[in-house]
Structure 1
Amino acid sequence: MNNKLRNIGLGVLALSAVTLSSCSDSFLDEELTTQYSTEYFDTPEGLEDLTISLYGNIRWHFGYEWAYGITLYGTDEFTMGGDNTSWIWNTYDPALNPANYTTALGAPNGNCPGVSALWDEMYYGIASANTIIAKAEDVFTDEAKRKLCLAHAYFLRGYNYYRLAAQYGHFVIQNEPVNTVVRNFTRSTEEECWEQVISDLRQAYNLFEGENFTYGKGISWTKATAAHFLAKALLFRASERNNSWNSKYIEQDLKDAIEACTYAINARGGESGLVANYSDLYANWKGVDCDIEQTDEILMAAGHNASSATIGRFGNRTYNYFTMQFRTVTAQWTQRGQFIGGMEFQRCRPTEYAYAIFDHVNDARMWKTFRTIYGINKIVDKDLAAQKGLRLGDPSCVMILNTPDDNTYNNYKFGNATGNPTWKDDNNVLGNGAGKWAPASLVLYQNGQYVGNTFGTTATNASNFFAGINKTDDCSRTAEKGDAHRDVTMARLGETYLVRAECYVRQGEYDLAKADIDVIRKRAQWKAGEERDVYESADDYFETANSTANNTFNTVNEAGETIAATLIEMNKWSNPKKNTYYLSNPGLARTTAASDLTNWTFDNLPVEDQKVMDKLGISDKRERAINFILNERTRELLGEWVRWEDLSRTGTLIKRAKAFNSEAAGNITEGKHELRPIPQSFLDGLKNEDGSNLPEEELKAWQNPGY
């Protein structure tokens, strides 16, 4: 689904060839065609086709390394694993500058996200939106169709402008279709840019007619979608990053944001609109277009399916980024393949903060998000297997997520298979036999010290052995490195509650804020009857078409024989339905009782949150409350593509990165790194109307501080 009306490069806005999707079946039908001239958009059918193609623009965000590089790296939640493809975004090295970091400039490979990537791609969608907005009044005689297409156009333009403002601060406001080369623009201020974002999203909010799922529930943008992002934009304008100019907006923006959130929440059923089981947001994905992709909680998603015709330019590659290097650290006891939901690219390694911010006993989200066990799917050494009692399907990687006050494992030896680790499950907690040894194992704390980053086969500061998250896992891939088929959730009601809660805090309405937060925390509690050490994941599902007897994978059994196992067998052996809940909470009696996460106040925060406040040196009640919500956003939204913007918005990026991301701490600089550099490729193309170069001072005025 590639819609390119304007190519932005070297600072030039120009009309380029049009490609768009057919809408014969759905907006995911990506049979691309260039048979249409721009005159086609003077017809109702053409303009609706162009509207449907807007959904393709958002898939860009999840096609390559920028998915995590510009949204998660360099924050308190994630740092690098053993791969340094996008290292400049995590470390804020001087190589993160207006020029794209290429191999010619020293990049380790050609995949590092360029600072121009988001800038360029957002304008492709903006160009299409501009065409729809300019033509809709004259083209449509059907009022309902006109409003629907305009609502989509204003929403996509507002969303794309939102991403530009959040990352770069200011951008080019271009609201008219461009048919000629443009070389000079007026530099808009941040205040003007946020006004544009909010105006577009408000237009979309007013034009959408309720929750009319015109293009498919769980995918289509509706009034609630526009309301959610309108609220986020209003809150952004009212937040700390804009303190130098936003005072006249704050009071009304917070009121309007609360109103927008309230609409979205009520329109999607209030608390009953939330998925009841947190696992059903991500872990229990059961295949293409399954039920969890169609829930009321999802407000916006980048759509994908299994048709080869829908991959287009940007398939879903997010399954690559959160998984540790299980094959390497187990010395091949766990083989990789499409029968495991993630590839071992180990880009995003959770920080100590990301583990420690959870209540390890009572918060089910932790154990429904982190994957802590992989299974043996190949017997590497039959004699060792016989000695240790190992079988196919036994744990090969065991990751114990304990807490600093746990001394159980102080004298145990952990490590990867090549280091001959000696930890074993003496008490048969995992249920695969007392005294069983795992080829690779880790623990977070020994003797009160964090050691979770010291395991693996790479350097400590780039460990390739960690417990990753499962929110992007997809076992339906037709090949090990094939595109994922699942949708990527971009906004959901769980976040809407937290946005409204933050608005309430900023108004001093702490009781209302707590009520909204507790809606989310109640869902996060263990429900009565839940087994806490049962792990559910998208790995439990395996596409039938990939699991036939003829679709095999060569492995080795306990007798040392090479066998052709079916992929469904490999899937079963690789993915034990267990987690390390009881190993991580040693001494805790087995229970299926409900837990409670609502026993807190803003004056008496949970222990894990108070530790964060102490480390950050925060005592002011309002600041504590905002940081508590940031912590809650981690627990609820970990890895969901919003963290860098949240921290930049709230003025907490520098402090939190320095406190919790040692790789970022050395370079990150206040007054500079809260914004991204304006791309040099754009600046180089700016000219006077007569084609002469702009004065140096004018060019400098375009660039963000510090670059």
Structure 2
Amino acid sequence: MKRNKILFVVLLAGIIGASITSCSSDFLDEKLTTQYSTDRLKTTEGLDELSTGAYQKLKFKFNYVWGIELFNLGVDEFTDANNSIPSYNCYSADLNSAESDANSPFWDNMYGAIESANTLIQNVPLYYDQSNPNYNTRLGEGYFMRGYFYLQLVAQYGGVPLKLAPSTSVDTYYTRASEEECFAQIIADLEQAYDLLPTTPAETGRITKWAAAHYLAKAHLTRASELYSSWNASTTTADLAAVIKYGSEVVAAHPLCDDYVNLWDYQKANSANEKVSEVVLAAQFSDDQTTWGRYGNQMHLYYPSVYQDIAGTKRDISGGREFSYARATNYTMDVFDRVNDSRFWKSFITCYGCNTTSGAPTWSDANAKLGPRGTVAGSKRFTGGELAIKYVVNDAGDSRYEPVVNDATGVLKDGIMQNTHTFVRYFNNEPQAWVGKHGNEGYYGIQKRSVALSKYRDGYRISIASQFGTRDAILARSAEDVLMVAEAYARQGEAQYDNAIIWINKLRDRAAFKEGEDRSVNVDGGQAYKNNSYCTGNGGGYSSDGAVYWDKNTYYESNDDMSATTASTKAGLHINSVADIYNSKIDSPIYAKLGCTSNADKMMCFILNERTRELCGETLRWEDLVRTKTLEARWKAFNDGYVRGNTAFSASIHYYRPIPQTFLDAITNENGKSLTSEEKAAMQNPGY
């Protein structure tokens, strides 16, 4: 949608021209072919192609920096990093209707996808061969796409224009529907999709009945949440029942992985972890360069901590290209039980290998005296293939560490300087702080150093500088359905808390370290470099000097140098009663910071914390905090963007995004005239 003037023939040029090749590993390994006239969409073949093209919009979240800006900045989990983004992280005055990095592209792309869906819904019954076994699927895909993309819009903007038929000419007159009307349409569309779609996909990546069920659960839970409390009373009881129904069905159809790491064990394009049972819907990416388009999957760029400017670690494919837009907050470090919960160690990077001996640091005369016994001044502190950088995720009160005055990454541990570049959260005598500088990690200080999320790391790219990721991106997995069902039970009142706990334990039992498991192992997508043909010889820079990817973590050192063990931690994570939630050692400081005193407040806070532990960084957080109206409290408590200034946050404004100015400038009133300033203001969200 360009300035909201949807020319049908232009839409075709952007969406249709995609045909499926016979050698594809999934149905989106397509190549652009000749563009067709609108008559093509009056054939079975043309509608098949339109359906395939519509799937491209499912990639939008992962295509560019808007994937961070719209969905995971300005929240409790992540703040901005080496690249400052005050508009979305600090809610500065730059977040306005003219903002074009994320806001306008999101609006335009969602409506572009809705146009394709409208065409499928209209044309499939008219022109698709009804004896074709794909008839119901194509129609169901149309309804799913329309419901899904409207749900994305409503989550960001509130009520939006409902466009339910394809354009045949330029459309310029629009009115905004209410939130209530939008949710009714979204749920009706997803119910149609649920009835029409198959239970198993004909091709990898196709939408199924269970994807519709997942987003039905999400739509019902969203409508039942606090943001809509001024009008949702008549639907809340039925909504919560629907969440339990649909979410339970998804979990039954898509069983959880046995081990959390199986979701992120990416070894090469189209590898086994992209086909695990837990994934309900994923945006399909691959190493086929003909399918990349302008952007490809770029999410791997935004979470890494900068390492290339540290002696001994030059940028390579395994370590990633560090655009470094988002860094985890202290809340994100502390919301995990980092002794018992494996999800932390399977979601974050704490170790980096040396991949250039020549660039590795040497012991200075002064520091050699601080090093281990026998350290020789002028010798290398480490060499290629050895550990170069480590992040120690410790707590306040840890007396082991002191800074080295003449070395920003030098740390004394029990009086002895570490040979590695070492980043520590808390030095001796530093008090606990949710925001503010402490240790030598990147918290309101050195913003490019942080414990980096590993879920998008991609060692299968074609070059060190390549922005095009190859791994699929998860849009929906059944673990979120577990959490939605648990939340629905919790919202039904204390009498249902035991049922909520049964569902929460499905994830916490899975999150525990298993009997015999090595807790020091790190697995993430950086390992894919080992199977990558580009990582040989000079092209990838891999030789005896090794790689930045490191297959170990700092579990034991971070946990006070505890003794090595392979015992199960299930008993430490399993919730035995609601008292375990109310009195949680991990969650109680968060309750106190947020002022949660009632049992209901603690239960909902715990569920939001559990969503971080399970779903951290998976493009869901801003919408979760908005729908529950916890954004203001959590952002102010845990995001250093609040204390840095340059913020204009207002609870009466920032629970919604601004309607793009390009849209307001392009549309007309009922008489065909451009909107007046007053008419634009009436169309706009309050405060923008």
Q: TM-score, structure 1 length as denominator?
A: 0.88
Contact 1:363–1:524 at 8 Å: present in 2 too?
yes
For 2:287, the equivalent position in structure 1 comes to 306
**SS state at 1:144 partner:** coil
Q: Does residue 1:128 correspond to 2:120, yes or no?
A: no
Per-residue deviation, 1:446: 4.1
- Aligned partner (choices 551, 567, 582) of residue 593 of structure 1: 567
Alignment of 1:312-351 (within 5 A): 312-328=293-309, 330=310, 332-340=311-319, 342-351=320-329
Structure 2 equivalent of residue 400 of structure 1 = 392
Letter in 2 for 1:287: K
Question: 1:57 corresponds to which residue?
Answer: 57
Q: Equivalent residue for 1:441?
A: 423
**Counterpart pick for 1:633 among 604, 611, 622:** 611
CA 1:187–1:422: 2 relative to 1, 3 Å: closer
CA-to-partner distance for each residue in 1:359-378, whole Å, 9 max, x for gaps? 01100111111111111112
Query: Deviation at 1:689?
Result: 4.1
Q: Retained in 1: the 8 A contact 2:354–2:387? A: yes
Distance (whole Å) between structure 2 residues aligned to residue 403 and residue 549 of structure 1: 41
- 2:244, 2:485 within 8 Å by CA — same for their partners in 1? yes
Local SS of the residue matching 2:352: strand
Classify the secondary structure of the residue corresponding to 2:679: helix
Kept in 2, the 8 Å contact 1:151–1:207? The answer is yes
1:514 aligns with 2:493: no
* Structure-2 separation of matches of 1:517 and 1:274: 13
In structure 2, C-alpha distance between the alignment counterparts of 1:422 and 1:456, rounded to whole Å: 9
- After superposition, residues 181-192 of structure 1 pair within 5 angstroms as 181-192=170-181
Distance 1:300 1:446, change over 3 A: farther
Matched to 1:406, the amino acid is D
Aligned partner of 2:307: which letter? F
Q: Does 1:290 align with 2:271?
A: yes
Q: Do 1:404 and 1:449's aligned partners in 2 also have CA atoms closer than 8 Å?
A: yes
Query: For each residue in 1:334-373, what CA deviation from the matched residue of structure 2 results, as whole angstroms up to 9, or x when unmatched?
Result: 0002132x21111111000000000011001111111111
In structure 2, distance between residues paired with 1:456 and 1:639: 23
Corresponding residue SS for 1:449? coil
CA contact (8 A) 2:400 2:414 kept: no
CA distance in 2, matches of 1:15, 1:455: 57
AA of the residue aligned to 1:537: D
* Residues 1:549 and 1:702: Cα distance change in structure 2 (over 3 Å): closer
Tell whether the 8 Å contact from 1:236 to 1:649 is kept in structure 2 after alignment: yes
> What amino acid does structure 1 have at the position aligned with 2:681?
K
User: In structure 2, do the counterparts of structure 1 residues 604 and 633 end up closer, same or farther at CA, with 3 Å as the change threshold?
Assistant: same
Aligned length: 654
Q: Which residue of 2 aligns with 1:228?
A: 214
State the match for 1:498 in structure 2.
483
Structure 1 residue 296 displacement after superposition: 1.2
Distance 2:677 2:418 in 1: 69
Aligned to 2:259: 277
1:22 is aligned, of 19, 26, 30, to: 19
How far off is 1:586 after superposition? 1.1
Distance 2:76 2:535 in 1: 43
In structure 2, how many angstroms separate the alpha carbons of the residues matched to 1:513 and 1:414? Answer: 48
Which of 189, 198, 201 is equivalent to 1:200?
A: 189
Q: Percentage identity across aligned positions?
A: 35
Q: In the TM superposition, what is the alpha-carbon distance from 1:505 to its structure 2 partner?
A: 0.6
Aligned CA distance change for structure 1 residues 232 and 679 (closer, same or farther; 3 Å):
same
The correspondence of residues 608-627 of structure 1 with structure 2, limited to 5 A, is: 608-627=586-605
Write the letter of the residue equivalent to 2:641.
E
Residue 362 of structure 1 aligns to a residue whose secondary structure is: coil
1:474–1:485 Cα contact (<8 Å) kept: yes
State how far apart, in whole Å, the 1-side matches of 2:126 and 2:27 are: 24
Aligned to 2:452, the other structure's residue is in SS state coil
Give distance in 2, aligned partners of 1:382 and 1:662.
32
In the alignment, residue 160 of structure 1 is paired with which amino acid?
F
Q: Is the 1:402–1:445 contact (alpha carbons within 8 Å) kept by the matching residues of 2?
A: no
CA distance in 2, matches of 1:455, 1:404: 10
CA distance in 2, matches of 1:262, 1:457: 41
**Match of 1:119, as an amino acid?**
W
Question: In the alignment, which of 485, 492, 495 is matched to residue 470 of structure 2?
Answer: 485
Task: Say if 2:69 and 2:88, in contact at 8 Å, map to a contact too.
Answer: yes
* SS of residue in 1 equivalent to 2:637: helix
Change (3 A) 1:625 1:598: same
Q: Is the 8 Å Cα contact of residues 372 and 467 (structure 1) preserved in structure 2?
A: yes
Change (3 A) 1:383 1:260: closer
- 1:211-247 Cα deviation digits (max 9, x unpaired): x22121xx22111111011100000001000011000
Report whether the alignment pairs 1:246 with 2:240: no
Using a 3 Å threshold, how does the CA distance of structure 1 residues 351 and 189 change in structure 2: closer, same or farther? same
Cα pair 1:364 1:526 within 8 Å, conserved: yes
Give the Cα–Cα distance (whole angstroms) in 2 for the partners of residues 40 and 310 of structure 1. 22
CA gap of 1:386–1:365, structure 2 versus 1, over 3 A, is: farther
Q: How far does the alpha carbon of each residue in 1:96-146 deviate from its partner, in whole angstroms, 9 at most, with x for none?
A: 011125xxxxxxxxxxx2321111001111111111110111212226322
Task: Tell me, yes or no, if the aligned pair for 2:594 and 2:637 is still in contact at 8 Å.
Answer: yes
CA pair 280-121 structure 1, distance change in 2 beyond 3 A? same
> 1:527 corresponds to which residue?
514
In the other structure, the counterpart of 1:37 is 37
Please state how far the C-alpha of 1:320 moved relative to its aligned partner.
Answer: 0.5
Deviation at 1:307, TM superposition (A): 1.0
Cα distance in 1 between the residues matched to 2:444 and 2:593: 23
The answer to whether structure 1 residue 146 and structure 2 residue 135 are counterparts is yes
User: Is residue 79–residue 348 contact of structure 1 (8 Å, CA) maintained in 2?
Assistant: yes
Letter in 2 for 1:8: K
Return closer, same or farther for 1:452/1:636 CA change in 2, 3 Å cut-off: farther
Amino acid at match of 1:333: G
Mapping 1:442-461, distance limit 5 Å: 442-444=424-426, 446-447=428-429, 448-450=431-433, 453=437, 460-461=444-445
Instruction: Measure the CA separation in 2 of the matches of 1:49 and 1:68.
Output: 30
The 8 Å contact of residues 527 and 595 in structure 1, kept in 2 or not, is answered as: yes
* Aligned equivalents of 1:201, 1:446: Cα separation in 2: 55
Distance of aligned partners of 1:392 and 1:208 in 2 relative to their CA distance in 1, 3 Å threshold? same
**1:205/1:227 contact within 8 Å kept:** yes
Mapped to 2, the partners of 1:621 and 1:52 lie a distance apart of 48
SS at match of 1:567: coil
- The amino acid of 2:403's aligned partner reads K
Q: 1 CA distance for matches of 2:80 and 2:536?
A: 39
Residue type at the aligned position of 2:525: A
Q: Deviations over 1:594-636 (max 9, x none)?
A: 0020145433322111111111111122222111110000000
Residues in 2 aligned to 1:346 and 1:51: alpha-carbon distance in whole angstroms: 35
Determine the C-alpha separation between the residues in 2 that align with 1:213 and 1:255. 27
Select the residue among 542, 557, 562 that pairs with 1:567: 542
2:248 pairs with 1:256: no
Pair 204,646 (structure 1): closer, same or farther in 2 beyond 3 Å:
same
Q: For 1:228 and 1:407, how far apart are their aligned partners in 2?
A: 47
Shift of 1:459: 9.3
Query: Corresponding residue for 1:413?
Result: 403
One-letter amino acid of the counterpart of residue 484, structure 1: G
2:457 corresponding residue in structure 1: 473
**Which letter maps to 1:602?**
V
**Aligned-pair distance for 1:198?**
1.2
User: Residues 542 and 381 (structure 1 numbering): CA distance in 2 closer, same or farther, change over 3 Å?
Assistant: closer
Match of 2:91 in 1: 92
Q: Relative to 1, partners in 2 of residues 1:639 and 1:291: Cα closer, same or farther, differing over 3 Å?
A: same
